[in-house]
Structure 1
Amino acid sequence: MKIKIGAGILVLFALVAVLGPLLISADPAATSEAGLQGPSAEHWLGTTQTGQDILVQTVYGARVSLGVGVLSALIATMLAIAVGLIGGYVGGVVDEVLSVLTNIFLVLPALPLIIVLAGYLPQRGVASVAVVIAVTGWAWGARVLRAQTLSVRRRDFVQAARASGEGPLRIVFYEIMPVLLPVIATSFLATVVAAILAEAGLSFLGLADLSTVSWGSMLYFAQNGQALLIGAWWWFIPPGLCIALIGTGLALVNFGIDEIANPRLRTIKVPRKARA
């Protein structure tokens, strides 16, 4: 049930991000004289201080925010797989070096490091921000995958593959990694949530590309326009609510995957007769 609800939320936002800009031909940066108008038949979610349509910006912002989140999670997950699986399987000096590198990134505070790295970016586009977020967000997944690999590498099918003459890389990526797919999926979804929040935080602080409309840049301009003080709730609630719903959907899917991978977490349904 959790997976169905979470997947429904994610599919809805994915359709908005992919098809929304195609169905809405308006320019999200276009200004008008209808400034700070509340929701109406003409502007369903109201307008900004300069007359920009909030609905159009929310739809276009979904593509940027979700794009940054998914791209960052893909890069971070690939780094986590490479470091965690290889280090956990090979062991020895390789594992010690990779563990020290992972611990360094775990100890460093993520948000301040993201802010520092983003401040030195020559270009603050979607790809650049995604890479910065990924570089600071792979360590947790690598630590979990390393611990799981240390356990899996002692199982019989791994020993049989090693005895049959398979190489280390083939064993890691064709024997061990398929077993750890639920853990990898959980790490990926958690990284997507963290990346979306990090992108929103960077945009809110003015460290991202503010010429690109995203949910974070919407919150930045709403804060600069003092939307909360003047009572323009329609300016900041839509992007904030979208971020919250995306986080909820990803969390529900994550919990559902945990229940499938770990039967102990499943909810036991008590028959009605037993309740009575």
Structure 2
Amino acid sequence: MTNLASPTALDTAADEPAPSGRPARAGWRSLLPTMTPWLAIGLVLIGGITLFAVIAPYFVGDPREIRDMGLTGPSAEFPLGTTQTGQDVLAQLAFATRGSLQIGIIVGLLATALSALFGIYGAYKGKVLDEAFSLLTNVFLVIPGLPLVIVISGFVPRESRGLWTIAVVLAVTSWAGAARVLRAQTLSVRSRDYVAASQVSGEKSWRVIVVEILPNLLPVIASQFVFAVIAAILGEAGLSYIGLGASNSATLGTMLFYAQNGFALSLGAWWWFVPPGLMIALFGMGLSLVNFSIDELINPKLKNLRLHRKRARRAARLERELARDTTAKEAVR
């Protein structure tokens, strides 16, 4: 992540003229990324998959119902075919998508809260508390993430390995990197005059953090939340694929696990493993596109590059209009 340059992100966005000649967005609007085709595609992918996860389970049958028609291809009755035991793949996909999104959101919230606690609060308080939090953060950064997740998941009994258990394991092992970034940003913002003025006036610590510091870190926190959701869904899929996922919950990872155990690839049953894999890929792509757009609020180089491109396109458009007007005048003469 790139440090927020002084003045603050809100002030910079408010003072910088908009490329279209209109005044720049002020206040909370300056925290929102500029709408671009890539951002629109990302929002459509996220919205469509989320809508499918919320609504589709109410319109499909029981995903665990066993039928005497194993490994049948897509048909009018079963649009995505059936598994070896005759279970409806579409019904499984609907419930599995909901489960994966739940894990992603839970992990994103927990990891963001932990990184904010150890990064923002520790850096603001400083001294012994900051040193202790930094030491703990460094310990988690040194330990390899994937082996730690596998070890913790392996020690949890299979019957207790539910959705919340996997989410907590993934959150505990994924907050340290974001906390390190937030600590650096907070140390930069904490030294500014308006924060010092709030401290001198006797404001409480929580109010200084929430009102004076947190607004400058919102783009960074939003980007880290999106990244945590992506990492959580991929992490859960990886754990489930090796048999360490949520044993009593339906997720996209468990679908891939059962497809692997059922030899779907060798049997040519593409309708069993392609839909969950494609769902993970599309949702990850949508979140990545949104994350790239948020990164433009954090990285001044990306923001200036987009500004220069817009100005260049506007200048080229004006030149073409001027050339057409000149040609029209010469034709009249």
TM bucket, shorter chain: over 0.9
What is the aligned partner in structure 1 of residue 8 from structure 2? Answer: none
Q: Please give the alpha-carbon distance, in whole angstroms, between the structure 1 residues aligned to 2:298 and 2:111.
A: 22
Show structure 1 runs of 5+ residues with no match: none
| Aligned equivalents of 1:263, 1:139: Cα separation in 2 | 25
For residue 40 of structure 2, what is the amino acid of its counterpart? K
**What corresponds to 1:158 in structure 2?**
195
Aligned length: 275
Structure 1 residues 173 and 271 mapped into 2: Cα distance closer, same or farther (>3 Å)? closer
Aligned counterpart, 1:221: 258
Which residue of the partner structure matches residue 75 of structure 1?
Answer: 110
The answer on 1:271 being equivalent to 2:313 is yes
| CA distance in structure 2 between the aligned counterparts of 1:210 and 1:147, rounded to whole angstroms | 39
67-76 or 29-38, which deviates more: 29-38
Letter in 1 for 2:273: F
Secondary structure in structure 1 of the residue aligned to 2:218: helix
Per the alignment, residue 134 of structure 2 pairs with: 99
How far residue 118 of structure 1 moved from its aligned partner, in angstroms, is 1.2
Q: Is contact 2:140-2:173 (8 Å) kept?
A: yes
Any residues of structure 2 matched to 1:157-236 within 5 Å, and which?
A: 157-236=194-273
Point out the more displaced range, 208-217 or 107-116. 208-217
Alpha-carbon deviation of 1:272? Answer: 7.4
Equivalent in the alignment of 2:44? 8
> CA RMSD, aligned part only?
1.6
1:27 aligns with 2:54: no
What TM-score does the superposition give when structure 1 sets the normalisation length? 0.95
- Cα deviation for residue 273 of structure 1 reads 6.7
Residue 211 of structure 1 deviates from its aligned partner by: 3.7
Residue 88 (structure 2) pairs with residue 53 (structure 1): yes
Quote the Cα distance in structure 2 between the aligned partners of 1:10 and 1:88: 34
SS at match of 1:271: helix
Q: Is the 8 A contact 1:28 1:213 kept in 2?
A: no
Q: Normalized against structure 2, the TM-score is what? A: 0.79
- The structure having more radius of gyration, on CA atoms, is 2
Mapped contact 1:61–1:215 kept (Cα < 8 A): yes
Residue equivalent to 2:168: 131
- Name the CA distance, whole Å, in 2 between partners of 1:273 and 1:165: 51
Residue pair 2:161, 2:248 contacting (<8 A) in 1 also:
no
Q: Is the 8 A contact 1:182 1:257 kept in 2?
A: yes
Residue 115 of structure 1, CA deviation = 1.2
User: Are the structure 2 counterparts of residues 61 and 149 from structure 1 closer, same or farther at C-alpha, using a change threshold of 3 Å?
Assistant: same
User: Residue type matched to 1:274 in 2?
Assistant: A
Q: What is the letter of the counterpart of residue 72 of structure 1?
A: V
**Structure-1 residue corresponding to 2:286:** 249
Measured in 2, the distance between the counterparts of 1:134 and 1:273 equals: 48
Tell me, yes or no, if the aligned pair for 1:3 and 1:257 is still in contact at 8 Å: no
Check conservation: 1:110, 1:137, Cα contact below 8 A.
Answer: yes
Report how far residue 6 of structure 1 moved: 1.0
More displaced 10-residue stretch of structure 1: 144-153 or 82-91: 82-91
Give the secondary structure class of the aligned counterpart of 1:29.
Answer: coil
